[in-house]
Amino acid sequence: MDMTFGRRVTAILGTAAVALTLAPATARAQDTINCVFPFWFGFAPVFVADKKGYFAEEDLTVTWAFDNDRANVLPALETGAIDCTMRTIGESMARPRTPETSGTIIGTIDVSVGADGVVAGPGIESVEDLIGKTFAGEINHPGTVLIQYALSEMGRSIDDLDIRLINTDDSIAVFEDDSVAAVATWEPMLSQIVNNTSREGSTVLLDSGDYEGLITDVIIVRTDDLEANPEKYRKFLRGIYRAIDDYMSDPDDFIALSAPEYGVPDAEMKEALEGVKYTTYEDTLAYMPMTGDGTLREVFDAFNEINISLDLQDAPLPYEPYIDGALLDGLFEGFER
């Protein structure tokens, strides 16, 4: 098993490299979407939609590459080198994004319901027990976000902890240091730490299932191209949600089609997806309803506060036009699902 899995990065240096290394999905079609996103199983519907021919049925070609570095991805969206990316909404809102930055959220794709979390050492039984102690994690990691959110509920903040910044891939080794009270990580390292650490009595203190919806992955597309070619992105969404339907009806087949893209055994992907909830078309409509506020608005408002408290945003971002669910209206009317 790859011990450093969790949203691992295949580094692509610079936007020119992004454009050159995108993997072609199928034969060239009339419409093309170039997408770059982190190495994360939650984005597997892209691969399944392609292999099932859903994009081809729409005369759509989708190309992709793995890259977790927003310093590459955001400029690539700005220049038109890529058309789409996917990541957690909280990360997407963080600096250097401003209200003027290109990129519009058109849908959700998955919600973490246990795949991200915080492992605490013996004697740490609550978030309050962490106050004044050393917490290790990346500042924009979902586990760090969970801790900040839990602290805010009790009128405290991340400033009440001694933060040690680490690379999440090092979390297994970092946690073996007895001076570290807790560490932010994700699956499969979350389970590996609890099951294999020498620190007897260590437990999962918090995971994303405790605050379902907070760690939500969204689909972000190039704003100017969306405005010029909205139907192209409706095609993309139909393919994604048809693939998610496939996961709901036959997860083993879904995994068999997508696991090779990640270079991992089917069993490893299946285990990791136990902490992930894919959002169906109907789920997405509840997150981003045509009228009124849905779950995503609540998450967005929460992250305006969380990111500012973590010094990841200069000021609150406006919900609109950054989030636009207009393409979801009647998405499958007249089309096969």
Which residues in 18-34 are b (16+ Cβ under 10 Å) and which e? bbebbeebeeeeebbbb
> Could you tell me the two tokens for 51?
């292999």
Residue 64, domain member (yes or no) = yes
Residue 288, domain member (yes or no) = yes
Shared domain for 105 and 219, answered yes or no, is yes
Domain stop point among 168, 186, 211 = 211
Beta strand pairing status for 104-112 and 134-137?
unpaired
Residue 8, domain member (yes or no) = no
**pLDDT at residue 215, rounded to an integer:** 95
> Could you tell me the two tokens for 166?
């680490």
Residue 232, domain member (yes or no) = yes
Domain stop point among 192, 211, 230 = 211
Helices (H), the chain: 15-21, 45-51, 54-57, 70-79, 89-93, 142-153, 171-175, 189-196, 223-228, 230-249, 251-262, 266-272, 281-287, 295-309
Distance CA 273, CA 252 (A): 11
Residue 2, domain member (yes or no) = no
Q: Contact at 8 Å (CB) between 73 and 67?
A: yes
Distance CA 234, CA 284 (A): 14
Listed as ranges, residues in the chain with pLDDT below 70 are: 1-29
**pLDDT at residue 200, rounded to an integer:** 96
| Tally of domains within the chain | 2
Shared domain for 80 and 92, answered yes or no, is yes
**pLDDT at residue 187, rounded to an integer:** 86
Distance CA 51, CA 133 (A): 48
**pLDDT at residue 275, rounded to an integer:** 92
Distance CA 56, CA 28 (A): 9
Shared domain for 79 and 25, answered yes or no, is yes
Shared domain for 31 and 89, answered yes or no, is yes
Shared domain for 20 and 163, answered yes or no, is no
**pLDDT at residue 250, rounded to an integer:** 98
Distance CA 198, CA 229 (A): 55
Shared domain for 225 and 302, answered yes or no, is yes
Residue length of the chain: 337
> Could you tell me the two tokens for 259?
């696991």
Shared domain for 76 and 138, answered yes or no, is no
Which residues in 58-74 are b (16+ Cβ under 10 Å) and which e? bebbbbbbbbbebebbb
Tell me the residue range of the domain where 147 lies: 116-211
Q: What is the CATH number of the domain that holds 306?
A: 3.40.190.10
The secondary element (H helix, E strand) that includes residue 202 is: none
Q: Contact at 8 Å (CB) between 110 and 276?
A: yes
**pLDDT at residue 24, rounded to an integer:** 52
Shared domain for 101 and 234, answered yes or no, is yes
Task: Give residues with Cβ within 8 angstroms of 50, minimum separation 6.
Answer: 25, 26, 56, 62, 239
Shared domain for 94 and 241, answered yes or no, is yes
pLDDT of 277-298, one tens digit each?
999 999 999 999 977 789 999 9
Shared domain for 230 and 205, answered yes or no, is no
Backbone angles phi, psi at 7, to 5 degrees: 50, 45
Residue 333, domain member (yes or no) = no
Domain stop point among 190, 211, 232 = 211
Shared domain for 225 and 318, answered yes or no, is yes
**pLDDT at residue 84, rounded to an integer:** 97
Residue 177, domain member (yes or no) = yes
Q: Contact at 8 Å (CB) between 184 and 143?
A: yes
pLDDT of 322-334, one tens digit each?
999 999 999 999 9
Shared domain for 127 and 77, answered yes or no, is no
Residue 335, domain member (yes or no) = no
